[in-house]
Chain A
């Protein structure tokens, strides 16, 4: 049934377009041109994904025919497909030429071309010509081609893009150079190659500037920017250090309870603020509390790091993979939280159990009575530094959270909510704006933009298509297998390489599997991707940014965290949390 509806709908679209827009003027002018031939269709890849920017050239009896552009003027006499792969072209022909085509005396061939795809030519046979008319009753001859599939073609651009991506991925994952510089370098190499060698030979064409910009998800960029302004203001209030010290007071120095409180607090903070920020705020005070209690700081710090990665999965704004996937799916804050928050809570409970077991000697040993001087010093340090600022920022944070909760109802993108909240904060709190805007970490925003371009490059040349195809073959039509693959491949990979570029690169794979596997429309594979990326980042020291930052902070306190120190705790906890995630997703979806 669907197969019949789609061509019919496309035909209606063709007619609709003929009645409207820049083309309408051409089709009707001056009294309409009955010899105009309209050709439409959709260009897809072998995985049924739309291919934009495909050049469609018309050849009549071996000679190119001028084409009236219906969409953007991208060249003459060719037409190019749009983002959804569709194209609509008008061929102004002499009436006798059109009649010759309809009776088979002339021959029309459409040639489809795009770099990284094999060229394809389609011959239009007489039965394909149909008749239609516009609102003024002016008749047109129509050809609806349906879906035209182009196969991928491995060319030098593919290998250059793949090599660039892999090198940059390595540079980012192993912190060889600054992540932003690495991502920018990759993006520049891909675009630079496109506009140098690619200009002369499209076998080297990777990604155009326009396509590169189209790959950047500005919802993610502005959401992160808005939340950064919030973090910069709230970080000045001393709230989180105060909460950590209150936790010490309330638990009366009972180590296990304190560890659970600090771990839980970090998880909750990470759900609403960026996880690295949560670590930068919580770890220094936690190290001091641990040292005051004569505990090894890792007994507090490592569980906090693990909690920050888990808590970040709970909300749309908690962690970059969450933000990236949520934005890709156009999810609102509530929709996202309804799906992921229960899993994050469940996983956090598992974390509490596991750290109690792993650190039992630290947590259940006899407590040490701290020196009164050190305690007094810590209390002074952990005070609220600006109560007025805190009241205002908490009020606006609440308003922003309410907006996040109702954004689905009013159709407001999360980035707009974050920007509204942050701007109101700047207006009301009146901080030194230039100082506050300097606090926005522009390198992070550039990092994300460059990463989107980098992944766009490998998507353009077909690398992601190839990986998706391989995973698709492995999973077949088995949703459970696809789910497990998504959770565990992402989880293991995120423990070894940086999870942000991995998530961006894995999104088109999730798209493909969701499109092709029956039952995957519940979006379960996207949840699996987030769970794998966030929880998998806990496996090793290199898995995510909070781990590295926490290790750096510990090092500054004289406690060097080695790869093995982290792995010993992180790996078993990651294993259990990925099992919990797999079971939960399998049972719920």
Chain B
């Protein structure tokens, strides 16, 4: 049984990617890893008093979003592992792909201008993942 990695958050765009990853896992008979990356860099330019453990808050929220994704996958009979860890999204996707010896990385296609990756940039990132981890990448 191989492993498919799907980095996810929440929202409509993520649900579409999750569904595609779940369908691929079923089709290939692979297990699925959902990854949520705790990235607090959005606070870098704010001089407001950040005295709250934001990482912990985001870890709780990430855990909840992963639990939602897990419910969807298990509803389709796909075995799921969830990973929630801090860092930069790109770095952590590559790190988890290497650590878990992932066969396939599923990346969500940009949905309008709201997606963090423009399509061109996404393709370049896919090539980077393949080169650095040896995992295949599919843009869905």
Contacts and interface: CB of A to CB of B under 8 A. Distances in A.
Contacts of B58: 284, 553, 556
B49 A291 contact: no
Nearest to B61: A284
Interface stretch (A162-170, A274-282, A405-413, A576-584): A274-282
Interface residues of A, dominant DSSP: helix
Interface string A551-569: 0110111111010000000
B27 interface: no
Interface of A: 175, 177-180, 183, 224, 228, 231-232, 235-236, 241, 274, 276-277, 280-281, 284-285, 287-288, 291-292, 371, 373-374, 377-378, 381, 439-441, 443-444, 447, 545-546, 548-549, 552-553, 555-560, 562
B51 A235 contact: yes
A338 to B, nearest CB: 26
Most A CB atoms within 10 A — which of B38, B42, B64? Answer: B64
B52 A557 contact: no
A555 B42 contact: yes
A440 B50 CA distance: 8
Interface stretch (B65-73, B90-98, B123-131): B65-73
B50 A178 contact: no
Contacts of A291: 10, 64-65, 68
Given A284-B57, A553-B42, 9 more contacts: A178-B45, A232-B51, A235-B53, A241-B60, A274-B48, A287-B10, A291-B65, A556-B58, A558-B13
Interface of B: 8-14, 38-39, 42-54, 57-58, 60-65, 67-68, 71, 114
Contacts of B46: 175, 178-179, 276, 545, 548-549
Nearest to A555: B42
Contact of A557 (B9, B51, B71): B9
Contacts, number: 125
Interface residues of B, dominant DSSP: helix
A373 B71 contact: yes
B80 to A, nearest CB: 13
A374 B64 contact: yes
B9 A558 contact: yes
Nearest to A283: B57
A444 B62 CA distance: 27
Contacts of B14: 558
B10 A557 contact: yes
Contacts of B52: 231-232, 235, 277, 280-281
A234 to B, nearest CB: 9
A556 B9 contact: yes
Nearest to B13: A558
10 closest Cβ pairs, A-B complex: A558-B11, A552-B42, A558-B9, A276-B48, A179-B47, A558-B10, A545-B48, A447-B47, A232-B51, A280-B52
Contacts of A560: 11, 114
A552 B39 CA distance: 10
